Amino acid sequence: MTIAIYPGTFDPITNGHLDIVARAAKLFAKLVIGIYDSPDKQPLFTVAERVELAREAVANLPNVEVESFSGLTVDFAKKVKAKAMVRGLRMSADFEREFDMAMMNKRLFPELELVCLMANVEYQFLSSTLLKEAANLGGDISDLVPEHVAKALRKRVKGKM
């Protein structure tokens, strides 16, 4: 049984992420979404909130789990016994960053294979950062995230104003 992780910040999870999740869930026996609890980023949602939003979004996928982690991604991979790490690649800036991270991760845990899935054309320009900016300015983001995430975003953005 091949286990894979899909690590990221997921602040919050978007339809772009979920497209990668659904496709990766077909390739691996089990997919563990790893929500990174970063010590230096200032996320809009706490790690517990990001885990909750992601869990609700993948409730229909029986072989997908959601967990938070801190520290090295490779240590998280070892903890859940993953042999592969999934990442989504958008056309714009992702490749160089992924390549650098992959080289470092390979040094740290050579057995872990990186599997990059190309972002769906529909979601090429969707990032959590842009999504939050649009929501902040009152834009309609309902096509880009599941309904419960849109609701949480609207509420959080309103609370900040």
- Residue type (1 letter), 87: R
C-beta of residue 34 within 8 angstroms of C-beta of residue 67: yes
Task: Indicate whether 12 belongs to the interface with ligand ADP (CB under 6 A).
Answer: no
Active site residue 41: yes
Check if 155 is active-site. no
Nearest approach in angstroms of CB 158 to ligand ADP is 23
Q: Tell me if residue 148 is catalytic.
A: no
106 is a catalytic site residue:
no
Q: How far is residue 142 from each of residues 64, 88, 122, measured CA to CA in Å?
A: 24, 21, 14
SS3 103: helix
Rule CB under 6 A: choose which of 4, 5, 10, 32 binds ligand ADP: 10
Binding site for ligand ADP (CB under 6 A): 8-10, 14, 16-17, 20, 87-88, 90, 94, 119, 123, 126-128
